[in-house]
Structure 1
């Protein structure tokens, strides 16, 4: 007896299979326990699909520049706070609890060798579905992702001593009412003196207005101010700890509260024809705005360029919207000289 296959019969078979699948899912018999693991073929299939997807999307969705050798200290500090618990680090074992996830986080000292820089950038920026790998917390900070790519690339050859040198600093007693471990999350990147350990992407905190530092921590903790690194660090702090840390770093020597010098025309004169006010009109000692005299030149230049790219902000009268509008009016050719002049102005502090 020959059974002839028709479209109606094929549709009935497909419908029956779908109904059986839905019934099985409804029954609750499908095993979702992480402790059960995956079948070997399932594990292979999921990783095969993931690797192919990363290769394809990283080819089309990554910027031209995906890594930088500058800023390993800040990348290492974020890795210690947000990544090492799952992946481990040189000389640091991952959490046994996190290793019970399915799939568990890979050992990057081995796994990083299997990816190109573009692929690492894409994974760090977008994360991976159906795993514990999250997307980068700050969508508009490709500079942070580039620094993390450079750090992860070094993990296969990084020694425990090198990792400790990047993430830990010795000395500097704990501020009153702040746990030593809490202060260590700050000093690991900013240094015990608040001067950023000589890293271009880390600002000088010493001498800054405590009100500004406290407000910055609050904005990072709420996600209003964008930085995956600082959002992670600030989210762990209580309001009392934020205030104490702000006072602690503000009391250190560093930035200068003297009047801005006339070493660059934009500092004291501005450009009235371009509706560009002088820096001193807001950043003078008698103003409530942050102190910028003596600030890290690279940090200033990077911040100005980041603000210039924030073209969605068009009304300088709104809170925290002044600098994006002003920065777009500063000629690109003047950013580096202006930053250098501000940094040099505090060289005698």
Structure 2
């Protein structure tokens, strides 16, 4: 018997298959329980599709140099310990048995990281993976943070437990409670330890160029910054994760604790051009003086004595912000200011504020 294919029969067949699929989904027969796992063929197909997708999209979407070159791994290690290790595990640390019950479970990066190029790791970290527990990076525009995390993950396969504990600050917590002149006992030990893991018990950022000096900074500014990170007004996946669970009282206590530590201000350097920008600004560029907002008695953060690499990185981040800016809003002032600073003056200005004379 010959069945003649017609458009009506093809469309009717397709409509019938679609109706059958909807009926199956409506019935609830399909088991979505993570405890049931995947069939082997399903698991293979999903991972095969994911690998092909990452390779294709990373080729077009990742930067040509997606890995940090300065070896700044402390902030990435701290974020990994706080947000990633429970699922992926870490050197000398098994992943959470609860998280490993996900379908699919998070891979062991000490093995899995070898399978991906730097560009592919960058793409996965920036965008996450659908239908898994891997989220996209929590702050848009912070490719600098992703680059550092790529560098850290790339190091994981050969990293010893001692190296991991040192980088993530897990050996710095002892004695942090008593640091400074404020009553740090008002803070839970885990709250303060989470901060000193990256910023150090002395608030000096453990010598890392990407971590600011907090010691001696204005308490009001630090408290406001934590609130801004927590509610998304200030972009940083690392700091957003750290600040999200803090109560207003904990933010206030942390700010007072670090503000009481020595560190800022420092002594300004001798670059005359930078000094002009700090003290008088550049009227021809409509650039106000830094001291008009950041000087003594002003509400904005202390910059004198801050780490030069951190200041320069923040100015370049604001300078490259492609969003429309409303300079009337306080949180949008710095992108406007940064765009008016000549590129060749960013590093000299940062060094001047840091007190470096070279």
With the shorter chain as reference, the TM-score category is over 0.9
Contact kept? 2:122, 2:150, Cα under 8 Å? yes
321-330 or 101-110, larger mean C-alpha shift: 321-330
Which of 250, 256, 270 pairs up with 1:247?
A: 256
Q: Deviations over 1:54-102 (max 9, x none)?
A: 0110011112221113320000000011101100111111110110000
Corresponding residue of 1:86: 87
Q: 1:298 deviation in Å?
A: 0.1
Partner of 1:4 in structure 2? 4
1:314, 1:21 → 2: CA distance? 48
1:201-216 alignment, distance < 5 Å: 201-216=210-225
Contact kept in structure 2, 1:90 and 1:155, CA below 8 Å = yes
Note closer, same or farther for the CA distance 1:258–1:333 as it changes in structure 2 (3 Å cut): closer
Query: Which ranges of structure 1 fall in alignment gaps of 5 or more residues?
Result: none
Q: What is the CA deviation profile of residues 197-243 of structure 1, one whole-angstrom value per residue up to 9, with x for unaligned ones?
A: 00000000000000000000000010111000000000021111110
Counterpart Cα distance in 2 of 1:132 and 1:15: 34
Q: Corresponding residue for 1:276?
A: 287
Task: Give the distance between the partners of 1:206 and 1:155, measured in 2 at CA.
Answer: 31
CA distance in 1, matches of 2:108, 2:61: 25
* 1:4 shift after superposition: 2.8
Contact 2:176 2:196 in 1 (8 A): no
* Contact 2:268 2:354 (C-alpha < 8 Å) held by counterparts: no
Q: CA RMSD in A?
A: 1.7
Q: How does 1:170-319 map to 2 (within 5 A)?
A: 170-174=173-177, 175-256=184-265, 263=272, 264-319=275-330
Q: Does structure 2 conserve the Cα–Cα contact (< 8 Å) formed by 1:256 and 1:294?
A: yes
Conserved 8 A contact 1:260-1:267: no
Q: Retained in 1: the 8 A contact 2:327–2:333?
A: yes
**Alpha-carbon displacement from aligned partner over 1:29-64 (angstroms, at most 9, x marks no partner):** 011000000000000110111111001100111122
Q: Secondary structure at the match of 1:3?
A: coil
Equivalent position of 2:113 in the other structure: 112
- Take 1:300 and 1:102, find their aligned partners in 2: how far apart are those partners? 43
How far apart in 1 are the matches of 2:80 and 2:256? Answer: 26
- Displacement of 1:269: 2.0
Q: Which residue of 2 aligns with 1:156?
A: 157
Is the 8 Å Cα contact of residues 35 and 100 (structure 1) preserved in structure 2?
yes
Decide which moves more: 324-333 or 312-321. 312-321
CA distance in 1, matches of 2:52, 2:277: 51
Pair 1:127 & 2:128 matched: yes
Measure the CA separation in 1 of the matches of 2:63 and 2:297.
42
Match runs of 1:57-96 below 5 Å: 57-70=57-70, 71-96=72-97
- Partner SS for 1:82: helix
User: In the aligned structure 2, how far is the partner of 1:289 from the partner of 1:260?
Assistant: 21
Structure 1 counterpart SS, 2:331: coil
CA change 1:8–1:251 in 2 (3 A) is: same
> What SS does the corresponding residue of 2:82 show, helix, strand or coil?
helix
Farther-moved stretch of structure 1 (42-51 vs 268-277)? 268-277
CA 1:258–1:297: 2 relative to 1, 3 Å: closer
What SS does the aligned partner of 1:320 have? helix
Aligned residue for 2:180?
Answer: none
Does 75-84 or 162-171 show the bigger shift? Answer: 162-171
Q: Counterparts of 1:41-52 in structure 2 under 5 Å?
A: 41-52=41-52
Contact 1:315 1:321 in 2 (8 A): yes
